[in-house]
Structure 1
Amino acid sequence: MNIPSILAKCAGKKNLSREEAFEMQNKIIKGKLSQDELLKIFQFFAARPITPAELMGILEATRKHMIKVPITSDALDVCGTGGDGQHTFNISTITAIICAATGVPIVKHCGRAASGICGSADLLKLLDVNIDLTPEQAVACFGTCGIVFLFAPNFQPGLKIVKDARKKFGGKTYFNFLGPMLNPASVSHQLIGVSDKTMMRLMGKTLIDFGSKKIILVHSEDGGDEVGLSEKTIIMEFDGTREQKKYELTHSDFGLPRFHGDLKTTSREENVSICRQILMGRSDEPKKNVAMANAALAFYTFGKVSNIRDGVRLAEETISSEKALKKLEQVIKVTHNL
C-alpha cells in the first residue's frame, strides 16, 4: 500500500495493519514524506490510541534502521517518555549512575530535551561526559565502566528527519513513547517512566514480544514519568513469561516521607548542580529521596534487591560512600580517552 492510500485510511479513522504501519514508518525514516504528510500522520495518531499491530509495525521499521551496539550481556536501561510538562530535574540519569556504582550493568539510551528544559544528553554534556561514541567505543566504555550512555541521534539517524515536523506539531506524538523502546543494545531489562498511563500495558507487552526479559513501567498520579513521593505511583511489571502485574506504590512503601513540594528546575545549569549535589550527598532531602526511590525500583527491576526498601538502603549507602560520584568521574575520564 502506498502512502496516499495509508493517509486516506487514517483519514477515514481506520486502523492500519502491522504491515501498513511498517511501510509508513519505513518511508518516514527514509525521508520519503513531506512535512505536511508527517503532520497529518501525527494528527491521526494524536486523535486516537495506537493499536498493538500499529506499534509493532512502527517499532519493527524503526529498529530496522537503528545502528546497533553489540552488547549481548544482560543490562538495564532507565529512561522516560518525557512529555509530562513537569520540568523536574533529570532523575533517570542520576538513577542510572547510582545503579552502575553498585555493579548493575547500565546501557542508557539518552537524548536532548524535546519539551522539557534538560534532557539526559543535555545534562551529560554539561557534566563533561563524552556521549558522541561509536558502537565500538560504546562497547569499550561499557566493558570498563559497567555503564555507557548512548546518544540517540548517533544510533537513530533516521529520526532526525522528523525533528522539524515534531517541533512544528507542538504536541506529543507517538515518537515520545517510541524513544524508550529503541535502545540500540536491545537491553534485557528496562525501567521506563511513562507520562501517558494509557500506554503502559501496550509498551510493556510489545517490548516482551521483542525479546526483553523484564520491563517495569511507572506513572506517578501527579502526572510524572517517574516514581513520585507526593502521590501514588502506578506500576506495571512484565517478564518473559508474559505475566503481568499491576500495583501501586506510595512513599511509605519506600520508607520515605511524603513530599508535597515542587521539583521543577528552570535551567540546564540548575540540573547540573542538582545532579552533583545528590551524588555528593549534599542535596536537600526531597530531591535525594526521589532519586533514591527511583534507584530502588531500578535495583528491583534488574534483580539486585528483592524488595524496594532494601533498594532505598542500597541507594543511600551508594550516595553516602561517594561511590556514585566516583562512578560519574570514572565515566567522564574513560569517555574522553577512548
Structure 2
Amino acid sequence: MKEILYKLFDYHYLSREEAKDILFQIVQGTIPEAQVSALITCFLMRRISVEEIMGFRDALLDMRVPTDLSEYRPIDIVGTGGDGKNTFNISTLSCFVVAGAGYPVVKHGNYGSTSVSGASNVMELQGVKFTTDIDALRKSIEACGMAYLHAPLFSPALKEVAGVRRNLGVRSFFNVLGPLVNPVQPEYQLLGVYDLSMMRLYSYIYQESKKRYCVVHSLDGYDEISLTGRFKVVSNKGEQLFRPGDLGFRENKQKELYGGDTPEEAARLFNKVLECEATEAQLNVVLANSAFAIQTIVPDRSIEDCLETARDSLYGKKALKTFKKFIELNRP
C-alpha cells in the first residue's frame, strides 16, 4: 500500500487491476484507516481516471449482494453528492414522482456523508426498514413501482469506509462510485454530477455500456437540475444546454433549495413536497429532474410532454400515493 500511495503522490495513475485489488484490500480490512484516508485525499488532489474508476467499480460489483430486478426495466435517479450545496432530497423525491407516473424505479442510496441528509436518512426517518430480501423488493416494486436499496447492505466496501468518509466530511471517489454500483444495474439512469469533468467521466463510462442514461449538471455547481441558472444535459441523444426559462420555469435562488440543518427537518420538507405544500422553487426542481428521468426512459417524447407527466404525478397526488404505499410495504 505504501508503494501505491507513493505512486499516487507522484501523480501517476493506477491500472484497472491495481484499483480493483486495492478496493478488495480495503474491504478485507488489511489497509489501516489512515492509509484509506490518504488514498481518498490523493483523488481529491487530482482527477480520477476512467481506468481507476472502472477498477473500483469492478471490485464493488464482484462483491455485491446479487439482486436481479431486470424484468422490471427500472430507472435509478441519483446524484453523486459532494457539491457542498446541502439541498433537500431532490433525486429521491423525483423517484417517487417517476414511480407515481407509472415507471418502475430502483433507487440505490446511502446516508449523507457530505450533506445533512442522504436518501437513507430520509427513508429511515419515515420508518423504512432496509432489506436485501429479493422477495420483499419485488413485492415493493410490483405494488408501488418503487424499491429502495440501502447501499451498505449490498456493497460491503461502502460499509467498510463509511466511518472514514463521514469523518473526512468531503467528497471522495466513493461519491463517484455510488451511481455505478447499483446492484441491480438498472437499464436506465438519471445521474447528477457536481462538475463538468465528472460529466465527461461518466459519459465515457456509459458509452461503453448498453445503458440508457442522462447526466445532468447545473453550471453553478449543483449535482442536479437546480434551476438556479444554466444546466447541461448529456445523454444517448448528445449534449444540450438549457436555461430554466426553456422549460417554462423562473430562475431559483440558491437559498430556496436549502435542505435544512437536521435530517428531521429534511424529512419534513420531503413530505411537504409530496403533499404539494412546499414552495414553488422546491416543487419546480423536483418536476424538472423527474421530467428528464422520464425522457431517459421514453426518449422520443418531448421534455414538455415529460414535464406534463411529472406534473400530473406530483400535483395529482400519484407520487404521494406511491410514497404512502411504499412506506406501508417497507416498515417492519
**Which blocks of at least 5 consecutive residues in structure 1 are unaligned?**
239-243
Aligned match of 1:56: 54
- The one-letter code of the counterpart of 1:252 is G
User: Percent identity among equivalent residues?
Assistant: 30
| 1:123-157 CA distance string (max 9 Å, x none) | 11222333334233222322322210111111112
Shift of 1:165: 2.4
Distance 1:27 1:117, change over 3 A: same
Distance 1:193 1:29, change over 3 A: same
Q: In structure 2, how many angstroms separate the alpha carbons of the residues matched to 1:149 and 1:276?
A: 17
Q: Which has the higher contact order (CA 8 A, sep 6+)?
A: 2
Shift of 1:295: 0.8
Aligned match of 1:145: 144
* Backbone CA RMSD of aligned residues: 1.8
Distance 1:285 1:170, change over 3 A: closer
| 1:159-202 CA distance string (max 9 Å, x none) | 22212222343422111111111111011111011113211121
State the SS of the aligned residue for 1:86: coil
- Contact persistence 1:110–1:150 (CA under 8 A): yes
- Contact persistence 2:23–2:157 (CA under 8 A): no
- Contact persistence 1:255–1:309 (CA under 8 A): no
Aligned match of 1:293: 288
- Contact persistence 1:189–1:212 (CA under 8 A): no
Q: Counterparts in 2 of 1:163-202, with a 5 A limit?
A: 163-202=162-201
- The one-letter code of the counterpart of 2:70 is T
Shift of 1:332: 1.2
- Pick one of 308, 316, 319 that aligns with 1:324: 319
Q: In structure 2, how many angstroms separate the alpha carbons of the residues matched to 1:304 and 1:329?
A: 29
Q: In structure 1, how many angstroms separate the alpha carbons of the residues matched to 2:142 and 2:135?
A: 11
**Which blocks of at least 5 consecutive residues in structure 2 are unaligned?**
none
Q: In structure 2, how many angstroms separate the alpha carbons of the residues matched to 1:105 and 1:52?
A: 30
Range 136-145 or range 281-290, more displaced: 136-145
Shift of 1:250: 1.3
| 1:236-271 CA distance string (max 9 Å, x none) | 113xxxxx6222111122112222351112222332
| 1:197-244 CA distance string (max 9 Å, x none) | 2111212322343x3421111111221111021211111113xxxxx6
Q: In structure 2, how many angstroms separate the alpha carbons of the residues matched to 1:330 and 1:129?
A: 11
Aligned match of 2:39: 41
Q: In structure 1, how many angstroms separate the alpha carbons of the residues matched to 2:69 and 2:63?
A: 18
- The one-letter code of the counterpart of 1:66 is R
Give the structure-1-normalised TM-score: 0.92
Distance 1:254 1:205, change over 3 A: same
Shift of 1:116: 0.6
Aligned match of 1:32: 30
Aligned match of 2:267: 272
Q: In structure 2, how many angstroms separate the alpha carbons of the residues matched to 1:136 and 1:31?
A: 31
- Whether 1:281 and 2:279 are equivalent positions in the alignment is no
Distance 1:72 1:176, change over 3 A: same
Aligned match of 1:66: 64
Distance 1:202 1:333, change over 3 A: same
Give the structure-2-normalised TM-score: 0.93
State the number of aligned residues.
329
Aligned match of 1:125: 124
Q: In structure 1, how many angstroms separate the alpha carbons of the residues matched to 2:184 and 2:319?
A: 23
- The one-letter code of the counterpart of 1:153 is P
Distance 1:15 1:141, change over 3 A: same
- Contact persistence 1:220–1:232 (CA under 8 A): yes
